[in-house]
Amino acid sequence: MIGKILGKTYVGIVMLFLYAPIMVLIALSFNASRSRVLWTGFTLKWYTALFHSNAIMKAFGTTMALAFLSAAIASVIGLLAALAIYSMKRRDYKIMLFFTNIPLLNADIVTGIALMLWFVRFLPLGFSSVLMAHITFNIPYVILCILPKLETMDIRQFEAARDLGANSAYAFTRIMIPDLIPGILAGFFMAVTMSMDDFVITYFTKGAGVNTLSTLIYGEIRKGIKPEMYALSSVLFLLVLIILIVVNLLTGSEYKNSERR
Amino acid sequence: MNRKKIQVLSIPYVIWIIGFTVIPLLFVFAKAVTSPQGAFTAGNLIAIFDPVHRKALFLSIELAFISSILCILISYPVALILRSSKIRNKKIILFVMILPMWMNFILRILAIQMLISKNGLINHFLSLLGLGKISIINTEAAIIIGMVYDYLPYMLLPVLNCVLAIPDDIIEASKDLGANRFTVLTKILIPLSLSGIGSGITMVFVPSMTEFVIANILGGGKIMLLGNVIEQEFSVTMNWNLGSGLSVTLMIFVLLTTLISGRTVSETDKGFVI
């Protein structure tokens, strides 16, 4: 009994450690004064200020455009690559996975520097260089979300469709794609969140003039953080929470389907 | 199915790998073995033995090591407690535990800075209680707190997944054969969860060792990790060759870590809980 209580207390303390800083940020976004320690009343003025700040809104737009564009392009390249890798013989399969793992395992700082050294050769650093960098680190996440789905998929259904006269494109879109949709969506949203969260690689490849939310906040830390940033962090957290719940519902319903089978 | 036809689909990805993974890394190697004037030199690689750089490297390894150990020490009991609890939907608990890592990385460090800074919330409460102030901001301890806070979910996820997946039958069998709780822990649970701990170490140690943002924000810019040295070579000193040389050294240590902990990124990693 005592062990149980101790256990619950321990898990509670770990939860507190994980959530206290986030809760403080969210609380401060509703704090009337600029004080970082004193509660002086409830306000929504930082939220309205947030939407009137040009720098923040511009960075928000850049972040979102980057996240969804890089995730979409990475999803297409990644889906095609996953299908190809799945059909490869063992040796080629391993080689492809090795290269897929490089951006995941390598230090962000090295990936960022490497891309920057390469980009400065042929293109001005800016939105397009950051976009290419984000696609680069997003593709592996997409592949690693889709590949397990392919491996557990019942390929006989596809072959049956072919035997019954469907051409491969038709059989692919009608049989395989519906089975793969949860994996593709999981990979896509994974890529979106990875792109939104990235700082280091963006920092090295962005050049002057372009800012994502991460780099904007980093630049402001030295000057002193404005309360608008707390409001922004709460909005971002809510946004990611919604994305995660949607993705979970999508993949969750798929689990139920496979159980029914 | 026609394998050859399907493998054509990998062409865009292969081009992408060559163009954006292989060539950029070759550029780093090329810069690392040349001087700014373009002559061949090993100086940028040997530069790691320079006292300043060596100190930064050792400090990076030390802080990453301490952070990894702390993450294991925090995560493992959580996994054991959840395993023995009767909660039916453990996936939800797991989801809630790793949710904070989806908060923007910079904002999370910022939040830690606000809590532990000299006029921060913790000191405010301590003074309300009439206790003395803590001054850990701008110390190595602050950086470790930041690293543990930032990367704990990376350890929690694989360790929890691994411990919760151990079948009850094995534990029952060992108990029937006379094993006490300590034996069950050391001979069954820990050996069977080593793979989770291994991937957790990779996921915590590598980013901690290569970190420069946490050290900049929580270390007050005075404590130099190897990541900070490299970042400065690229943004302040503008010696890209030296920066590349140090990056290659850093990559060697990253490679060693992944080889030792013996894991590549797999389904136990970030995000695959969804």
Q: B65 to each of A48, A64, B71, B222, B268, how far by Cα in Å?
A: 44, 35, 10, 20, 21
Distance of CA B150 to the CA centre of its chain: 9
CA B263 to each of CA A158, B138, B197, B257, B269: distance values in angstroms, whole numbers, following the listed order: 34, 33, 10, 9, 11
Cβ pair B240:A117 closer than 8 A:
yes
Residue B112 in contact with partner chain A when CB distance is under 8 A? yes
| Chain A residues inside the 8 Å CB shell of B153 | 18
Task: Please check the confidence at residue A28 and state whether its pLDDT lies above 90.
Answer: no
* B220 to chain A, closest Cα gap in Å: 10
For residues B155-183, average pLDDT: 88
The C-alpha atoms of residue B71 and residue B76 are separated, in whole angstroms, by: 8
ipTM of the complex: 0.86
Residue B104 has pLDDT above 70, yes or no: yes
Across the range A82-97, mean pLDDT stands at 90
pLDDT category at B23 given cuts 50, 70, 90 is very high
Nearest to A102 by CA among B237, B258, B168: B258
Whether A110 contacts chain B with CB within 8 A: yes
Per the model's pLDDT, the better-predicted residue between B30 and B135 turns out to be B30
Query: Mean pLDDT, to the nearest integer, of B192-212?
Result: 90
Q: How many domains does chain B have?
A: 1
Spatial contact of B107 and A25, defined as CB atoms under 8 Å apart: yes
As a whole number, the mean pLDDT across chain B is 87
Task: Indicate whether B45 belongs to any domain.
Answer: no
Phi, psi of B210 (to 5 degrees): -100, 10
Chain B residues 235-274 with a CB less than 8 Å from chain A: 240, 243-244, 247, 250-251, 254, 258, 264-265, 267, 269, 271-272, 274
Q: Say whether pLDDT at B273 is over 90.
A: no
Residue A131 has pLDDT above 90, yes or no: yes
Indicate which of A105, A108, A177, A249 best probes the interface with B, i.e. most B CBs within 10 Å of its own CB: A105
Give the orientation angle of helix B240-261 with respect to helix B194-209, to 10 degrees: 170
pLDDT(A171) > 90: no
**Which pLDDT value is given to residue B97?**
83
Q: Is B44 on the interface with A (CB under 8 A)?
A: no
Of residues B107 and A201, more confidence is placed in A201
- Residues of chain B above pLDDT 70, percent: 94
Buried-exposed string B224-243: b where 16+ CB fall within 10 A, e elsewhere = bbbbbbbbebbeeeebbbbb
Check whether B265 has a pLDDT greater than 70.
no
Percent above pLDDT 90 for chain B: 44
CA distances from B124 to A35, B113, B229, B249 (A): 12, 14, 34, 43
User: Quick check: B126 pLDDT over 80?
Assistant: yes
* Percentage, residues of chain A above pLDDT 90: 38
Residue with more model confidence, A10 or B220: A10
Instruction: Count CB neighbours of B104 within 10 A.
Output: 24
pLDDT band of A84, cuts 50, 70, 90 = very high
Residue B43 clears pLDDT 70, i.e. is over it:
yes
Q: Which domain holds residue B189?
A: 51-261
Residue B263: pLDDT over 90: no
How much is the pLDDT for A252? Answer: 59
Structure-token pair, residue A239: 């946004």
Which CATH number belongs to the domain containing residue B232 in this structure? 1.10.3720.10
Residue A42, SS3?
strand
| pLDDT score, position B262 | 63
Angle at A258 (CA atoms; ends A256, B1), nearest 5 degrees: 150
Q: What CA–CA distance (Å, rounded) separates A78 from A84?
A: 10
Q: Which two tokens stand for residue B187?
A: 């001979």
For residues B92 and A134, give the distance between their C-alpha atoms in angstroms, rounded to a whole number. 30
Which one-letter amino acid corresponds to residue B80?
Answer: L
Say what the pLDDT of residue A169 is.
82
Q: What is the pTM of this model?
A: 0.88
Q: Using a CB–CB cutoff of 8 Å, tell me whether A238 touches chain B.
A: no
End-to-end CA distance of chain B: 31
The domain A53-260 having CATH identifier 3.90.1150.10: the answer here is no
Take residue A163 and report the two structure tokens written for it: 């035997």
* Closest by CA position to B51, among listed B229, B260, B272, B236: B229
- Joined tokens for residue B99: 């949710």
Q: Let me know: does B212 contact A109? Beta carbons within 8 Å.
A: yes
Lowest mean pLDDT across A36-45, B2-11, B176-185 = B2-11
Cβ of B57 under 8 Å from any chain A Cβ? no
Q: Which residues contact A103 (CB under 8 A, 6 or more apart)?
A: A111, A136, A137, A139, A140, B21
Is the residue at B7 inside a domain?
Answer: no
Sign of the C-alpha dihedral computed for residues A30, A33, A34 and A38 taken in this order: negative
Element (H, E) at B233: helix B226-235
pLDDT at position A58 over 90: yes
Query: Cα(A125)–Cα(B184) distance, rounded to whole angstroms?
Result: 57
pLDDT at residue A8, rounded to an integer:
86
CB A109 within 8 A of CB B210: yes
Per-domain boundaries in chain A: 1-43, 53-260
- Is the pLDDT confidence value at B135 over 70? yes
Q: Tokens for A47, please give them.
A: 């939220």
A19 CB within 8 Å of a chain B CB: yes
What's the pLDDT at A77? 96
CA distance A106 to A115: 13
Q: Does the pLDDT value for residue B3 go beyond 90?
A: no
Least confident of A207-216, B89-98, B228-237, B262-271: B262-271
What is the distance between the alpha carbons of residues B209 and B227, in angstroms, rounded to a whole number? 8
Judge whether residue A36 has pLDDT over 80.
Answer: no
Q: How many whole angstroms separate alpha carbon A207 and alpha carbon A227? A: 27
Taking the CA of residue B58 and the nearest CA in chain A, the distance in Å comes to 17
The answer to whether B36 faces chain A, any CB pair under 8 Å, is no
* Dihedral sign (CA A144, A192, A120, B212): negative
Q: Is A96 on the interface with B (CB under 8 A)?
A: yes
**Euclidean distance between CA atoms B231 and B249, whole angstroms:** 14
More confident residue, B229 or B97: B229
Task: Answer yes or no: is pLDDT of A43 > 70.
Answer: yes
